[in-house]
């Protein structure tokens, strides 16, 4: 399977690998997937509570090259966005950007779930009622 | 890339030995005959070449040359043996016994038999990948016509206790078939010594060309017959019609001749290199586990799980120049990892974390040294990226986490 240059770049030089303090008020953590399925993504955001802007995003992923690249790309996109803008990120945008082959679309779905999971976690810490429920795949 | 390519996927297929290629070439243009043309020198020449090859192959596995049926490969041989016995022995019974770790060619042929009204028992294997003999014996009924157990497994290299299985089959008067694809030409493999009545194998796993294989069918005590699955000109004693692939068969024969002469030295050299690779990786990388029985195993194979690292992602760190294969099925549409490793009792997580290294005649020590370095680097890189490795390092009980299914 030939992967796109962008995907390979994110895989070889993943952006924003790391861990934020998950107990911090301003950090939201999304942990999705399962080791049995071969993919686990943990995506974390740090939000400035006054501006609602995402100031920091970090990830760690257990998974195939597409899963790693999808989460790396997601962290890049998240930084500087507001929480509402981040909620609008759609998995198909990741598919297009990385030219994911059809069998790898689930990796982008996982990344979208991880983003939503991280935002939900942040919002719950701040007493925000989350309307959106995460789709189960 | 300009990098040296390293091929450690010899269980998938082996390179054709240049000596084999040399032997084949005259049978494309200079000697183009059909081995079934009985009335001119072109046919005689082709028939002679096929006879020589048949002898070389029979000699390698110590059987009579009349017991070799040429096919297109091991998949066809497996199909011919299983469906052919099922159809031929319908009056005797309709029950077949096999194991969960068999190759898909056997499992899918058995599934077809079930659709045709047969019954199939799929035996479990133990933690080391070997069937339990008492379970086999208990599964045999008066309707059982065939036991099909592979000699050596393609993913783990684990070798079954063939003699003991053969004895059980003989005791109950049941035919014993074996997919020996991974062992023929690599270790001595003599079906008659262990009571195997039908044996499937192929040329391209023993440094011969692709597209040609064989089925050994026992001729005496008992005389075994299979119903043909390919009908036509009545070639191969009526068991497999179709014009013989003369250049392929010549190559297969030459590969058998070379294997008989060189397999012992190859096996000895490769087992040392394999042990070096396995030992280096397992000692450099904590939480690495060798899958399958190390005592009864092919000399050129090792299957290792690197915990908390996903196999396909790991391969991507070095697959520009090193070819191995992974038990992770992330490349396929299904998310199921290797059913062979799962049958050994590995959790899905460890099965997803596995790599299979299969060495071959052309593997060098330099290849192994470079592989050790690149794989270790890849595992460490992937672990730095892995959230479950981080949790493991922090002492989090990963099994206790409620993971979201997706």
pLDDT tens sequence across B49-62: 999 999 999 999 99
Distance from CA of B29 to the nearest CA of A (A): 36
Tell whether A101 lies on the interface with B, counting CB pairs under 8 A. no
For chain B, how big is the Rg over CA atoms in Å?
22
| B330, pLDDT greater than 60 | no
Q: Annotated binding residue at B154?
A: yes
Q: How confident is the model at residue B347 (pLDDT cuts 50, 70, 90)?
A: confident
* Ramachandran assignment for A126, one of left (phi > 0), alpha (psi -120 to 50 degrees), beta (any other): alpha
| A137, pLDDT greater than 70 | no
B110 catalytically annotated: no
pLDDT tens sequence across A43-67: 999 999 999 999 999 999 999 999 9
Locate the chain B residue with the closest alpha carbon to A17. Answer: B385
Locate the chain B residue with the closest alpha carbon to A62. Answer: B386
- Comparison of pLDDT for B270 and A131, the residue scoring more: B270
pLDDT tens sequence across A18-52: 999 999 999 999 999 988 888 999 999 999 999 99
User: Beta A39-48 vs A27-34: how paired, if at all?
Assistant: antiparallel
- Distances in Å between the Cα of B360 and the Cα atoms of B189, B211, B274, B351, B385 are 18, 20, 10, 24, 33
pLDDT tens sequence across B12-48: 999 999 999 999 999 999 999 999 999 999 999 999 9
**Mean pLDDT confidence for B150-179:** 98
Greatest CA span in chain A, whole angstroms? 45
Decide: A121 and A21 in contact? Cβ < 8 Å.
Answer: no
Please tell me the pTM assigned to this model: 0.93
Separation of alpha carbons B280 and B290, rounded Å: 12
Q: What pLDDT does A2 receive? A: 79
**Cβ-based interface (< 8 Å): residues of B facing A:** 308-310, 312-313, 316, 328-333, 335, 337, 347-349, 352, 382, 384-390, 398, 403-406
Separation of alpha carbons B37 and B46, rounded Å: 9
Q: Which member of A107, A114, A115, A118 is catalytic?
A: A107
**B135 exposure class (CB count in 10 Å sphere: 0-12, 13-18, 19+):** middle
For chain A, how big is the Rg over CA atoms in Å?
14
Compute the Cα dihedral for B100, B57, B184, B369 and give only its sign.
negative
| A1, pLDDT greater than 70 | no
Name the β-bridge partners of B305. Answer: B289, B354
Contacts of B40 (CB under 8 A, 6+ apart): B33
Name the β-bridge partners of B9. Answer: B358
Distance from CA of B296 to the nearest CA of A (A): 29
**Local structure of B215: helix, strand or coil:** strand
The percentage of residues in chain B with a pLDDT greater than 70, rounded to a whole number, is 97
Q: What pLDDT does B348 receive? A: 84
The percentage of residues in chain A with a pLDDT greater than 70, rounded to a whole number, is 93
Chain A residues lying within 8 Å of B330, measured CB to CB:
38-39, 63-64
* Pick among B318, B388, B393, B401 to test the A interface (most A CBs inside 10 A): B388
Question: Angle, nearest 10°, between helix axes A105-125 and A65-78?
Answer: 40
| B405, pLDDT greater than 80 | no
ipTM of this predicted complex? Answer: 0.88
Contacts of A56 (CB under 8 A, 6+ apart): A20, A45, A46, A79
Q: What pLDDT does B349 receive? A: 84
**Mean pLDDT confidence for B6-11:** 98
| B335, pLDDT greater than 50 | yes
| A129, pLDDT greater than 80 | no
Residue tagged 């017991």 (tokens): B67
Q: Annotated binding residue at B203?
A: yes
pLDDT tens sequence across B208-251: 999 999 999 999 999 999 999 999 999 999 999 999 999 999 99
Q: Encode chain A in three state secondary structure.
A: CCCCHHHHHHHHCCCCECCCCCCCCCEEEEEEEEHHHCEEEEEEEEEECCCCEEEEEEEEEECCHHHHHHHHHHHHHHCCCEHHHHHCCCHHHHHHHHCCCHHHHHHHHHHHHHHHHHHHHHHHHCCCCCCCCCCCC
Q: Encode A105-130 in three state secondary structure.
A: HHHHHHHHHHHHHHHHHHHHHCCCCC
- DSSP classification of residue B118: -
Task: Name the nearest CA neighbour of B238 among B69, B78, B89.
Answer: B69
Chain B residues lying within 8 Å of A105, measured CB to CB:
none
Separation of alpha carbons B245 and B167, rounded Å: 36
């Amino acid at each position: 399977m030939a992967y796109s240059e962008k995907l390979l770049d994110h895989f070889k030089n993943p952006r924003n690998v790391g861990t934020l303090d998950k107990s911090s008020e301003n950090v939201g953590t999304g942990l999705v997937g399962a080791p049995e399925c071969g993919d686990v993504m943990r995506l974390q955001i740090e939000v400035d509570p006054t501006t609602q802007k995402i100031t920091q995003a970090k990830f760690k992923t257990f998974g195939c090259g597409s899963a790693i690249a999808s989460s790396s790309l997601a962290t890049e996109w998240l930084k500087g966005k507001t929480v509402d803008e981040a909620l609008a990120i759609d998995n198909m945008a990741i598919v297009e950007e990385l030219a994911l082959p059809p069998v790898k679309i689930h990796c982008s779905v996982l990344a979208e779930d991880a983003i939503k999971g991280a935002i939900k976690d942040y919002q719950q810490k701040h007493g925000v009622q989350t309307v959106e429920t995460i789709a189960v795949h | 890339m300009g990098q040296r390519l390293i091929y450690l996927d010899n269980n998938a297929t082996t390179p054709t030995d240049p000596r084999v290629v040399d032997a084949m070439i005259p049978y494309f243009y200079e000697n183009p005959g059909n081995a079934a043309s009985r009335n001119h020198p072109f046919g005689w020449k082709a028939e002679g070449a096929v006879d020589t090859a048949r002898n070389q192959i029979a000699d390698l596995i110590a059987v009579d040359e009349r017991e070799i049926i040429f096919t297109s490969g091991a998949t066809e041989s497996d199909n011919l043996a299983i469906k052919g016995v099922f159809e031929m022995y319908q009056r005797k019974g309709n029950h077949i016994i096999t194991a969960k770790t068999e190759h898909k060619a056997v499992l899918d042929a058995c599934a077809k038999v079930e659709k045709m009204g047969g019954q199939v028992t799929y035996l479990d294997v133990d933690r080391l990948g070997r069937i339990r003999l008492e379970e086999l014996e208990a599964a045999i009924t008066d309707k059982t016509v065939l036991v099909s157990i592979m000699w050596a497994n393609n993913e783990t290299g684990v070798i079954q206790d063939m003699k003991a299985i053969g004895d059980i089959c003989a005791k109950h008067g049941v035919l014993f078939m074996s997919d020996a694809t991974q062992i023929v030409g690599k270790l001595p493999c003599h079906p008659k010594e262990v009571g195997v009545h039908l044996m499937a194998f192929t040329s391209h796993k023993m440094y011969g060309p692709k597209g040609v294989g064989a089925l050994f069918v026992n001729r005496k005590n008992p005389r075994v017959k299979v119903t043909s699955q390919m009908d036509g000109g009545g070639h191969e004693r009526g068991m497999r019609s179709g014009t013989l692939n003369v250049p392929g068969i010549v190559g297969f024969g030459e590969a058998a001749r070379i294997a008989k002469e060189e397999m012992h030295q190859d096996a000895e050299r490769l087992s040392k290199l394999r042990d070096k690779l396995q030992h280096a990786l397992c000692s450099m990388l904590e939480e690495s586990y060798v899958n399958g029985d190390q005592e009864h195993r092919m000399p050129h194979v090792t299957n290792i799980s690197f915990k908390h690292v996903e196999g396909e992602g790991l391969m991507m760190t070095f697959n520009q120049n090193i070819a191995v294969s992974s038990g992770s099925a992330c490349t396929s549409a299904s998310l199921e990892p290797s059913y062979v490793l799962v049958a050994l009792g590995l959790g899905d997580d460890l099965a997803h974390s596995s790599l299979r290294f299969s060495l071959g005649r052309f593997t060098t020590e330099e290849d192994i040294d470079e592989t050790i370095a690149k794989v270790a680097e890849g595992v460490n890189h992937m672990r730095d990226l892995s959230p479950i490795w981080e949790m493991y390092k922090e002492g989090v009980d990963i099994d206790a986490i409620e993971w979201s299914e997706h």
